[in-house]
């Protein structure tokens, strides 16, 4: 018989090693080696040769004869905006991956989804992190107690997959993938091989039984999904839970969605009853606003939803030789670029000043049309002057100081009109009586940062 040897193969480049190392010497990838067994026999052929012999012809059918999942059978999450993010609700047989910072509310919203689905369907909540008592207390607090909602505590991916394959549940929650292990692999939970194979096992079971599965994933300190990137490719939907864990709004957006758009976003706030949808986020964000220098109202978009949000800037003389730039809710690299444009294209000098930017409400802007509002907020703070409280601002700023067009300006303008604003400082390409058109940053700063 062939003698079996254990090898470690790199998932990135395919290089093999006899011993495990933290880093692949060939491609430089860290923690990419997974264990495998190789039969050492002189008489045996290569892996490619053996695969060629063992392969068989596929059974194929016409694409017209394929059956599809019925859109009418989608499960409602109980949140209208979250249903829109998912493309209409939870599709049977789909596998979703939910990631977010610790304490942001992943377990809370999953329990609320379970409570809604369990009104008419069978739901299983599998926890590998929390005890039954902890889950019970959360269910009581959120009113999720139901005969249709079952609970199991397990870290065995084999057992979870076997339970899913029975088809006895319409929705299964797995919290979390980093705690699961597969019996055939002798490595610690959370490793690349464990996460990849556990994910594959659960996904296969979900597809066979047409059971919807939501998997919770951990994130790294940089905020990206922990574990191998292949896990994101395997699942159907990847949801990212963003926001401040201690307050402010929380946003769920789809960064991958096979059944809907990736431009939608659902906005929530946390209270004693759990997470609730924010019906009018613009009014809530501006409720405590004071019109001072450095305060600008930005008309932005979260997905396809228009939102008015306050941008605050604080500019102070630096006490050290190196000026400090800090941004909360805005990309720091983009802020440094805009400061460079302001210094080069206008007469403002910021090389001896500290600049602090804050996006009120805990939102994290990913809209290029926030550039003009950021620049106006900085200029307003430097001059000690304020913009008229009847104005909203949006527009992208180029490296030449020009103000460029923004995505979906009509929706931004409509939201500003709804909340009683009189004008919008916006790119000249927007043709609307409500808009005060501007072409370059220097002229805008001179004309509209008034006393």
Q: 174, 147 in Cβ contact below 8 A? A: no
The β-bridge partners of 126 are: 152, 174
Rounded to 5 degrees, what angle do the CA atoms 127, 133, 136 make? 80
CB neighbour burial string for 79-90, b if at least 16 within 10 angstroms, e if fewer: bebbbbbbbebb
Query: Can the peptide bond before residue 176 be classed as cis, meaning omega within 30 degrees of 0?
Result: yes
d(CA 320, CA 337): 21
pLDDT at 1: 46
Q: What is the pLDDT of residues 343-383, one digit of tens each?
A: 999 989 999 999 999 999 888 898 999 999 999 999 999 99
Q: What is the pLDDT of residues 75-95, one digit of tens each?
A: 999 999 999 999 999 999 999
CA nearest neighbour of 395 among 342, 441, 332: 441
Q: 357, 313 in Cβ contact below 8 A? A: yes
Q: What is the pLDDT of residues 93-135, one digit of tens each?
A: 999 999 999 889 999 999 999 999 999 999 999 999 999 999 9
Q: 438, 391 in Cβ contact below 8 A? A: no
41: tokens are: 């026999």
Maximum Cα–Cα distance across the chain = 89
Q: What is the pLDDT of residues 189-200, one digit of tens each?
A: 888 888 989 999
Q: 252, 240 in Cβ contact below 8 A? A: yes
47: tokens are: 């892996």
Q: What is the pLDDT of residues 266-275, one digit of tens each?
A: 999 988 889 9
Mean per-residue pLDDT of the chain: 88
Asked if residue 44 has pLDDT above 60, the reply is: no
The residues, any chain, with a CB within 8 Å of residue 114's CB and separated by 6 or more, are 123, 125, 144, 149, 171, 173
The rounded percent of the chain whose pLDDT value lies above 70 is 93
Q: What is the pLDDT of residues 147-188, one digit of tens each?
A: 999 999 999 999 999 999 999 999 999 998 999 999 888 778
Name the DSSP class of 368.
G
Name the DSSP class of 88.
S
d(CA 405, CA 394): 9
d(CA 135, CA 368): 41
Highest mean pLDDT among 39-48, 145-154, 237-246 belongs to 145-154
Distance of CA 178 to the CA centre of its chain: 18
Strand pairing class (250-257; 3-10): unpaired
pLDDT at 271: 87
Q: What is the pLDDT of residues 7-35, one digit of tens each?
A: 787 776 778 888 888 888 888 888 778 77
Q: 338, 397 in Cβ contact below 8 A? A: yes
């Amino acid at each position: 018989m062939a003698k079996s040897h254990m090898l470690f193969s790199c998932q990135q480049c395919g290089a093999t090693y006899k011993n495990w190392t933290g880093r692949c010497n060939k491609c430089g990838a860290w923690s990419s080696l997974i264990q495998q067994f190789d039969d050492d026999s002189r008489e045996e052929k290569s892996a490619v040769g053996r695969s060629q012999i063992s392969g068989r012809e596929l059974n194929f059918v016409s694409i017209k004869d394929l059956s599809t999942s019925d859109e009418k059978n989608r499960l409602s999450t109980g949140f209208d905006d979250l249903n829109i993010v998912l493309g209409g609700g939870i599709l049977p047989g789909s596998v979703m991956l939910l990631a977010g910072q610790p304490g942001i509310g992943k377990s809370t919203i999953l329990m609320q989804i379970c409570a809604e689905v369990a009104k008419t369907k069978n739901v299983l909540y599998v926890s590998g992190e929390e005890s039954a008592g902890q889950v019970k207390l959360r269910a009581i607090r959120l009113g999720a107690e139901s005969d249709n909602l079952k609970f199991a505590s397990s870290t065995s991916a084999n057992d979870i997959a076997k339970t899913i394959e029975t088809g006895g549940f319409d929705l299964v929650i797995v919290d979390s993938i980093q705690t699961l292990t597969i019996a055939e692999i002798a490595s610690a939970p959370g490793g690349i091989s464990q996460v990849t194979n556990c994910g594959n096992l659960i996904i296969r079971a979900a597809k066979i039984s047409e059971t919807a599965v939501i998997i919770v994933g951990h994130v790294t300190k940089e905020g990206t999904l922990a574990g191998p990137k292949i896990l994101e490719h395997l699942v159907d939907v990847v949801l990212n839970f963003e926001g401040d864990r201690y307050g402010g709004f929380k946003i769920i957006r789809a960064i991958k969605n096979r059944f809907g758009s990736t431009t939608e976003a659902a906005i929530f706030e946390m209270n004693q009853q759990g997470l609730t949808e924010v019906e009018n986020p613009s009014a809530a964000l501006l409720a405590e606003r004071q019109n001072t220098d450095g305060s600008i109202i930005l008309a932005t978009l979260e997905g396809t939803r228009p939102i008015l949000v306050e941008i605050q800037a604080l500019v102070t003389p630096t006490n050290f030789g190196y000026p400090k730039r800090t941004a909360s809710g805005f990309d720091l690299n983009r802020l440094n670029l805009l400061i460079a444009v302001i210094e080069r294209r206008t007469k403002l000098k910021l090389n001896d000043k500290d600049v602090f930017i804050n996006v009120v409400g805990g939102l994290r802007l990913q809209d290029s049309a926030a550039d003009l509002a950021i620049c106006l907020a900085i200029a307003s703070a430097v001059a000690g002057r304020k913009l008229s409280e009847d104005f909203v601002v949006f527009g992208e700023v180029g490296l030449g100081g020009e103000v460029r067009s923004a995505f979906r300006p009509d929706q931004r303008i409509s939201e500003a009109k709804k909340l009683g604003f009189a004008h919008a400082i916006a790119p000249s390409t927007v043709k609307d009586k409500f808009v005060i058109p501007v072409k370059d940053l220097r002229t805008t700063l001179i004309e509209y940062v008034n006393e």
